[in-house]
Structure 1
Amino acid sequence: MSSMFLKPKVPAFTVPQPPEAMDVIIERAKELMVPLEVTEPLDCKQMKGLTLGLSGDHQFYNAALAVSLSRCWLQRTGNWEKVCQNDFQDSNLPDDFIRGLSSTHFSGRAQIVCDSSLYSDCSEIMSENCGELIFYLDGAHSPESIDACAKWFSNAVKGYKNPSHLSISVENTEESSENGHFLHESKALGQFENSSRLILLFNCLDVRNPNILLPRLVNGCSSSGIHFSRALFVPSMSKYTKVTSGASVIPSDLSGIELSWQFNLQRIWEKIVHGKEMTTLLEKDFKAESKLMLPPNEFLYDNPSKGCPSHNYFPSSAVIPSLPLTIKWLRDCVREHPSTRLQVLVTGSLHLVGDVLKLLKR
């Protein structure tokens, strides 16, 4: 919290901070005679059996801030008694608060979307002839948010293997999702036990440092026993100066697309995976008009210890010049391998996450 957000004698709220930061906040609060409250994370028992609408342990701190701020405003405006019931106790939350916290939705942050397009060729949603393509979307783009993303994704992937931790329902046989909670009925547990693949779909702005972001993401996941099978690096459709329409049409001419940044991300990734620099002529040899701009579908299923770098893909990563092309390729891979579940983490950029949501019609 910057001192610029502290106003004289106006209550302020924060969560536990690093000691040096907290010392500054406390000092400035005293100077400005600001009543300062350091909120502790919300106790899940206060939710009366419901879960937060936003997933991730850090959201319990955000929820506590929201509760403290709302309570303060209601008290100062004389509306607190209207919200609380007569038997309200300080350890409880008003029902209106609980409903608000449980129904909160934030697109692109800890969001899970099960792609329903795969079922268009199936007679029913639970068809044995369809694989699964699940997108885990989080626009994390800073070291701290990447850490939170890694923890959330790891827990979400583990939770998918245990349906008791998920909120599951089917509405008009269409896919739906909430932040971190499935609302889409899964296939029988164990059907994909030996054929699940964890895929990273990544891009970040060049003002970010992928040498920090990618290792922290990998280490955060691996510390929870979660390991990516493959990584895909693609350019975003939107930029900070331009927002795309979200049309899923694959550009007819891909030859002019600048991919040097994506190849740089790939080199960083391969160094993380192999522990050494990988010599490659990928960028030099890459030709967007060639059929080799896409790896073969077997790329997702082969043993990554086999094979040699070839054009735009290593055994463990690939650069693809178009996001719509990437989504189509993932769908084709699942259709051709019906027993497969692909769990794709999309992160590194809010632009990338937003573009994927638009392509998924979310």
Structure 2
Amino acid sequence: DGQGADLPDAFVRGLSTAHLLGRAQIVYDISLVPNSSGLFENSSGELIFYLDGAHTAESMEACAKWFSSVVKGSGNSSLSSMSSTTKTNNMEEVVQRNGYIGHKMEKTKHANKISKQILLFNCMEARHPQVLLPRLVSTCASSGTHFSKALFVPSVSTYSKVTSGSSFIPLAISGKDLSWQFSLQRLWERIIHGADPVLEKSSMKESTEILPPCKFLYEDAPLCSPAEECFACSAVIPSLPLTIKWLRDSVQENPSIRVQVLVTGSLHLVGDVLKLLKR
């Protein structure tokens, strides 16, 4: 606009290349190993995290539009997070995505992968999830994006305690109060199915001790149906490190799948995921 035209060129260049951690950020978590020929090939499915700390109705709508846009455009390309910028014979030029370096692979089979969109969500009660989640679902649906599953997990950090990047975070946290996560799960199932299945407290406790099977990720939400008072389209997992491990294990078991995880609802949650991914 007219005001932007008055900015010095150095300001324009700086603003155009700036990025904020945890806002419209994409992190690729793909395992690449050399085969017997010395070339790189994907040894498992793809796991991609889309992180945005949206926690208001307006920012959640913007987040949903961004997520829908990028996943729609990801079918023909695949980038992987790499620690080195060294080129190999089957790699093209280095490309940059929101501050992260990756390599675009030549002649891969990534385009044939089946994409599944997964929601990883947590928020504070004051953020009104009854407003955030419907806005997220409806905005994504209007662009043709539908979540296969939703995962509700407590953050590691809180408003009174923020862990550092070097802090040790245990895989499982015993005795964690998950009542809020179960409330979010009920809300989600009501949005998806228009019903509120009742789960006994004893079943709720047991469900946190057993992770969902890997095939849980592969079924689409429209095919889910609450049966025998169970939640079919979502899961509560007691810790974030356990969630990341479970996602990685699930992807490694199915080389034909691309799991696209939207992490949103809480800046604490987004920051914790970045720490666990060592970003």
Question: How high is the TM-score relative to the length of structure 2?
Answer: 0.83
1:3-61 deviations in Å (ceiling 9; x for gaps): xxxxxxxxxxxxxxxxxxxxxxxxxxxxxxxxxxxxx5x8xxxxxxxxxxxxxxxxxxx
Q: d(CA) in 2 for partners of 1:237 and 1:324?
A: 9
* Larger of the two Rg values belongs to structure: 1
Larger relative CO (CA 8 A, sep 6+): 1 or 2? 2
* 1:347 positional shift: 0.2
Secondary structure (helix, strand or coil) at the match of 1:315 reads coil
Q: d(CA) in 2 for partners of 1:233 and 1:209?
A: 15
State yes or no: 1:302 paired with 2:219. yes
Letter in 2 for 1:97: F
Q: d(CA) in 1 for partners of 2:206 and 2:17?
A: 44
State yes or no: 1:250 paired with 2:170. yes
State yes or no: 1:272 paired with 2:186. no
Contact kept in structure 2, 1:109 and 1:179, CA below 8 Å: no
- 2:124 is matched with which residue? 205
Letter in 1 for 2:192: V
Letter in 2 for 1:240: Y
Query: 153, 163, 176: which one pairs with 1:234?
Result: 153
Q: d(CA) in 1 for partners of 2:51 and 2:150?
A: 15
* 1:289 positional shift: 9.3
- Once structures 1 and 2 are overlaid, which stretch shifts more, 256-265 or 93-102? 93-102
Secondary structure (helix, strand or coil) at the match of 1:141 reads coil
- 2:263 is matched with which residue? 346
Change (3 A) 1:150 1:285: same
Superposition pairs for residues 1-362 of structure 1, below 5 Å?
40=1, 67=4, 91=5, 94-116=8-30, 118-119=31-32, 123=35, 126-163=40-77, 172=84, 178-179=97-98, 183-185=102-104, 191-193=110-112, 195-246=114-165, 247=167, 249-252=169-172, 254-281=173-200, 283-287=201-205, 291-292=209-210, 294-302=211-219, 304=221, 305=223, 314-362=231-279
Contact kept in structure 2, 1:170 and 1:185, CA below 8 Å: no
Q: d(CA) in 2 for partners of 1:285 and 1:359?
A: 29
Change (3 A) 1:297 1:148: same
User: What percentage of residue pairs aligned between the two structures are identical?
Assistant: 54
Q: Which runs of 5+ in 2 are unaligned?
A: 87-93
- Count of aligned pairs between the two proteins: 268
Q: d(CA) in 2 for partners of 1:308 and 1:126?
A: 42
Question: How high is the TM-score relative to the length of structure 1?
Answer: 0.65
Q: d(CA) in 1 for partners of 2:256 and 2:168?
A: 26
Letter in 2 for 1:287: K
Letter in 2 for 1:326: T
Q: Which runs of 5+ in 1 are unaligned?
A: 1-39, 43-63, 68-90
1:241-285 deviations in Å (ceiling 9; x for gaps): 001234564345x3310000000000000011101222222x432
